[in-house]
Structure 1
């Protein structure tokens, strides 16, 4: 049975996953680069973090999977999209292992990795996909060997919006700023009216972020809202926007099932809101927990293995990284 090793490092997490061709995940360790509260992560510092952790995570993944280099049929790496320095750092490790172990190498689109990971873990067949993360926000459906984008953010991603507001409130980055907003929002009792920006099938988050950044301190200082109220209001508003465009895509393609993937897909409140809409349409919601929603190596190994089984490999000279690598650029040879 074929086995693939995948390396993911497009943002502040580096993960190494080992997956068998029946979809069984043998190991999936990762490590997160965490900065002090109120700060983001820069490409250079993140790349250095990935360089420090890459080899030990490969060793850990092999040990947990109880396999050796001789058992690996293909090595997959994240080609993009993502941050340049971190992407290249992981691609270099993948190239090194490919040459040392004499096994083929294949580049994987990060977004497609999330989708295929969600499909294999949940068993979803052909759902509308809501892909929400720190760097991407897209509503996607499959057609004619491509994952077609029906709607997306026209400025910043939903995860980036949440992360940047977490910095305003000086929330910790451990384990993730979005997670800490989610927990604080559970204590919120007052819904503050915020801009709601849906433009056809697309959404915009920069305006709502600017508004709440400017209003936050004034509302808190006047006693008109607590940080919890603001987190609650932000989540309710932006998640409602996402549910709206997802439902519109469902109506367009004629399916009632939804799969949520990406780091923000772990958010229980988003899942609850989507569940209500999906149930009203007689469909089923598919979602996963932080083992598979958050960036990980298995989500790169699995589509890499699917592509490899279709005869797709790369020469070393082709193993470059692309920071802007769109979901719909990928030829999905493994689906009918």
Structure 2
């Protein structure tokens, strides 16, 4: 049995998790929450991570009933993500590695989401819809790589939702996307919005600009309520994502869809994707906020897969990279 600890801090979630082979022993997350109408900046986010990482580490070890001496391998997020938060976390991981003489494994954040989803749902070879605050991709595995079939050409879907929430001054607690999802349930009138699918790729910045220009007039005239706009935005964005996911399924012949990433715990997105899967006689796999949202266990899971197959990451390569493509990684652990 091998015990792995995973450190995640690529954005505003600081997560640390521990696994023993496939058993999750502990998974604790601390989120940096900003005031309504404001996003999170790299420097302040890194400060949050530095303030909370040692207490989070202590709590994770207590919950798992372990000490750092019991851990066999230290896994951390190499990228993609925000530079300052990534660096603040890897410094702690590197210190622990030296203090306790433990090997390190550098993990791609995006693949961490995929392998976490595969472990929890037991999906075999799914088409992956990866939707988060920093990434939007449709992915399928082929010949030792996770191949990107389609993606956003500008901002990620989660970023679009976050920025829209700021326009409405919605709370960032627990997350802007969650509060949009709840408000959308009250929406009754659909506001036509740009639908921008370009081949296998999607674009969200134009939709956001369209709303930003019109939102003062819409709300002042009461043509649409805030709930109507939340409802309309979700339906439009999610329809675009499902279109390119279905197209990728048709190309690969896949009969499984796995939704991962922070936006993946949106129940409406899961409902819409499930309907598409039913039409194709396919199966939808999804998880809840414990595993969709950035967390340390997903890094531990993927790091352990890498470690068991390829060994540790050389010390000189235990760095961070803000732009680290999903298809850059050699997936040695899959057949």
Partner of 2:252: 253
Structure-to-structure mapping, 1:13-24, within 5 angstroms: 13-21=13-21, 23-24=22-23
Question: How many Å apart are 1:311 and its aligned residue?
Answer: 2.8
Partner of 2:240: 241
CA distance in 2 between partners of 1:277 and 1:310 (Å) = 36
CA distance in 2 between partners of 1:6 and 1:223 (Å) = 48
Question: How many Å apart are 1:74 and its aligned residue?
Answer: 0.4
CA distance in 2 between partners of 1:272 and 1:43 (Å) = 34
What is the CA deviation profile of residues 206-247 of structure 1, one whole-angstrom value per residue up to 9, with x for unaligned ones?
Answer: 000100111111111111000000000000000000000000
Partner of 1:104: 103
Partner of 1:203: 202
Question: How many Å apart are 1:48 and its aligned residue?
Answer: 0.6
Question: How many Å apart are 1:56 and its aligned residue?
Answer: 1.1
Question: How many Å apart are 1:315 and its aligned residue?
Answer: 2.7
CA distance in 2 between partners of 1:327 and 1:300 (Å) = 14
Could you tell me whether the CA contact under 8 Å between 2:310 and 2:332 is conserved in 1?
no
Does the alignment pair 1:151 with 2:150?
A: yes
Partner of 1:4: 4
User: RMSD value over aligned CA atoms?
Assistant: 0.6
Give the secondary structure class of the aligned counterpart of 1:19.
Answer: strand
Question: How many Å apart are 1:313 and its aligned residue?
Answer: 1.2
Question: How many Å apart are 1:128 and its aligned residue?
Answer: 0.1
Partner of 1:43: 42
What is the CA deviation profile of residues 31-55 of structure 1, one whole-angstrom value per residue up to 9, with x for unaligned ones?
Answer: 0001100000000000010011111
CA distance in 2 between partners of 1:255 and 1:294 (Å) = 25
Partner of 1:182: 181
Structure-to-structure mapping, 1:1-336, within 5 angstroms: 1-21=1-21, 23-336=22-335
CA distance in 2 between partners of 1:133 and 1:84 (Å) = 17
Question: How many Å apart are 1:70 and its aligned residue?
Answer: 2.2
Give the secondary structure class of the aligned counterpart of 2:141.
Answer: strand
CA distance in 2 between partners of 1:311 and 1:146 (Å) = 15
CA distance in 2 between partners of 1:320 and 1:53 (Å) = 21
Unaligned stretches of 5+ residues in structure 2: none
What is the CA deviation profile of residues 92-146 of structure 1, one whole-angstrom value per residue up to 9, with x for unaligned ones?
Answer: 0110111111110010000000000000001101000000000000000000010
Give the secondary structure class of the aligned counterpart of 1:29.
Answer: strand
Stretch moving more, 208-217 or 122-131: 208-217
CA distance in 2 between partners of 1:71 and 1:335 (Å) = 27
Stretch moving more, 61-70 or 170-179: 61-70
Question: How many Å apart are 1:316 and its aligned residue?
Answer: 2.4
TM-score by length of 1: 0.99
CA distance in 2 between partners of 1:232 and 1:14 (Å) = 30
Unaligned stretches of 5+ residues in structure 1: none
Question: How many Å apart are 1:5 and its aligned residue?
Answer: 0.2
CA distance in 1 between partners of 2:20 and 2:292 (Å) = 19
Give the secondary structure class of the aligned counterpart of 1:92.
Answer: helix
Question: How many Å apart are 1:167 and its aligned residue?
Answer: 0.2
What is the CA deviation profile of residues 152-204 of structure 1, one whole-angstrom value per residue up to 9, with x for unaligned ones?
Answer: 00000000000000000000000000110000000000001000000000000
Question: How many Å apart are 1:279 and its aligned residue?
Answer: 0.8
Give the secondary structure class of the aligned counterpart of 1:193.
Answer: coil
CA distance in 1 between partners of 2:140 and 2:94 (Å) = 32
TM-score by length of 2: 0.99
Give the secondary structure class of the aligned counterpart of 2:235.
Answer: helix
After the TM superposition, which parts of structure 1 deviate over 4 Å for at least 4 consecutive aligned residues?
none
Give the secondary structure class of the aligned counterpart of 1:18.
Answer: strand
